[in-house]
Amino acid sequence: MMSEGPKAGFSFDFRIKREETRPRTRACDHAGCMAEGTHRAPKSRAEPNTFYWFCQPHARAHNESWDYFRGMPEEEVLAFQRDAITGHRPTWRMADRVGSPGAAARARAHPFFRRAQAANTRTRQRRPLPLQAEALATLGLDAGASLNEVKARYKELVKRFHPDANGGDRTAEERLAQVIRAYSTLKTSGYV
Ligand SMILES: [Zn+2]
């Protein structure tokens, strides 16, 4: 039925048009991310027609950075996003400016920072934050310890200080609590 006349021409043109308008496959712009960039975000209000392309999780993290820094000068948010995207370590400069004593700590605990940092530590040499360095020291590891080293040491120490292995010894119990706290700090701060 569609084999002749203008109809055939129309369906041919239509197919070509779809090819032309379908976005090319591109990689997520976040540093080290190999996923497909399926979501676009304007680079800034000054450049509303140039875009970052992100995978879904990085698009979400990017949007959250706008929510988190609402009310901050736009160029500072842009600088932070650029740092997160290129894989540079965020400086927490903006978080310190929020003013209240716990602001920097809360900012570090925010999912956006954790995800940005987790993505960065997958592809970069690890340089721990002070709280992470302290947690690594508690586990008897040095500052550059890898994910596998942390996991192996954690398992080993839990076994060593577990009450079952120590006949209810209070010292061992306290050490176990320290080990668990240290490991949980490394987890929630995005180190492992
Ligand atoms: Zn991504």
Q: How far apart are CA 67 and CA 112, in angstroms?
A: 10
Question: Quick one: tokens of 169?
Answer: 């010894």
pLDDT > 90: what percent of the chain? Answer: 0
Give the residue carrying structure tokens 């239509």: 14
Cα–ligand 1 centroid distance for 86 (angstroms): 12
Cα–ligand 1 centroid distance for 126 (angstroms): 20
Structural domains for the chain: 23-124 (no CATH), 128-192 (1.10.287.110)
Cα–ligand 1 centroid distance for 117 (angstroms): 13
Cα–ligand 1 centroid distance for 43 (angstroms): 16
Cα–ligand 1 centroid distance for 27 (angstroms): 8
Cα–ligand 1 centroid distance for 88 (angstroms): 15
Cα–ligand 1 centroid distance for 79 (angstroms): 18
In the chain the first and final C-alpha atoms are separated, in Å, by 61
Cα–ligand 1 centroid distance for 186 (angstroms): 22
Cα–ligand 1 centroid distance for 72 (angstroms): 25
Give, for 135, the enclosing helix (H) or strand (E): helix 130-138
**pLDDT tens figures, 124-149:** 445 777 788 888 888 888 887 888 88
**pLDDT for the residue 106:** 54
**pLDDT tens figures, 16-75:** 444 444 455 788 888 777 788 888 887 777 777 888 888 888 888 787 777 666 676 777
When mean pLDDT is compared across 6-20, 46-60, 84-98, the lowest value belongs to: 6-20
